[in-house]
Amino acid sequence: AGGLDRMLDVEGGAQQDRFLAGTQQIAVRMAAELGDRVVLDAPVRVITRNIDHTLTVTSDGGTFTAGTVVVAVPPEHRGAIEFA
């Protein structure tokens, strides 16, 4: 919370802290560490919560089961994912 006042109280505002190589480097480095567990060019179509509290992710690249899923897409693309 704090809104606009909190942002303006910080020297440099919202642009104070920046990544030198851009925030994409976070994903690039994570993918390098995870290796072939990262599936690229496979849009997620459905995320289903299972009775055993796991999640099933259905994508163009296959079906996967996980304990946690991070949905890191812009809001305008989130609508393309069905949550069941």
Residues 7 and 34 reside in one and the same domain = yes
pLDDT at 54: 98
Q: Could you tell me the pLDDT band of residue 18, with boundaries at 50, 70 and 90?
A: confident
pLDDT tens for each residue of 44-66: 999 999 999 999 999 999 999 99
Residues 60 and 26 reside in one and the same domain = no
Number of domains in the chain: 2
Residues 20 and 45 reside in one and the same domain = no
Residues 48 and 84 reside in one and the same domain = yes
Position 23 pLDDT exceeds 90: no
Residues 23 and 63 reside in one and the same domain = no
Query: In terms of DSSP bridges, do strands 55-59 and 62-66 run parallel, antiparallel, or are they unpaired?
Result: antiparallel
User: Cα–Cα distance between 32 and 16 in angstroms, integer?
Assistant: 28
Q: Which domain holds residue 7?
A: 1-38
The answer to whether the pTM exceeds 0.85 is no
Task: Answer for the pair 68, 59: CB distance below 8 angstroms, yes or no.
Answer: no
Residues 54 and 33 reside in one and the same domain = no
